[in-house]
Structure 1
Amino acid sequence: MAQLGANTSVEAETLSHVLSLMQAFQAFDSDNDGCINEAELAGIMGSLGYKITDQEVRAMMSQADTNRDGQLSLAEYLELNTKDMEPGSLATLLKSAFESIDADGDDVITGEELFQAMRDMGVGGFSFESCQQIISSMDGDGDGAVTSQELKLLIDALL
């Protein structure tokens, strides 16, 4: 398995943050359609302790919904929640992480590989099931794994 890079602890922390965001996205996507709608966004904000009006929810949605389809995709959600990160550094991290996590070098990441990589990096808080769900949320063709091409589509959406 490849190493993430010279500053592995920072990269592992950043990867953990991005994966936690993906986990949260799935938790808040209550109808499991792969998007967050206004009602789900209001629920997110309420669960975080914010008292927010419908107008504020619409404004947040309008700001984050870059393709104007009335819903937040995973890419839009990640973009909203990683604005403080340099886009190039996030893309580099995700590419490097993909190579590191792809233990068998077949250009595909499974939930099992993600789970093992997180354990190997000492990143806690991710069960095997949550790793499977994270992979599922990024899996464009429904085969249960993420290819480098599917990751590239996510990275392109974030840039």
Structure 2
Amino acid sequence: MDKATQYGRVFELFDGDGDGRISAKELQQCVEAIGGGLTEEEAEAAVEYLDADGDGLVGLEDFVRFVDGGEEEEKAKDLREAFKMYEMEGSGCITPKSLSKMLSRLGESRSADECQVMISRFDLNGDGVLTFDEFKVMMS
């Protein structure tokens, strides 16, 4: 069973009246059914936080984004940590020099020119360095 199907089934459990959206009351009832507890205010705040289209209800897309988001946040955090290892003294970018230095530490000696070629493959804006967004593209 794929993720979308799994999320859809869980969503249906939360969606007590079957209207394709989860209300604060439905969220509160479902959490109580599994042994948890949410006040009415907490349930309303959770729905408001998850509700992307502002209709006061959580749709399937909102639900999937929330459930799947935890994994994405962890990946982004890991990427940010990796990026910090390669960037030059907090400059916010990876330069040929900083890449060369880090590769040397890892036992992969490369000249600054070789590193420039490596960077140029993913340097989307052509400024000669890698920003975090360009690094994310490279790592995906």
Shorter-chain TM-score bucket reads: 0.3 to 0.5
Q: Which has the larger Rg?
A: 2
TM-score of the superposed pair, with normalisation by structure 1: 0.41
More RCO (CA 8 Å, sep 6+): 1
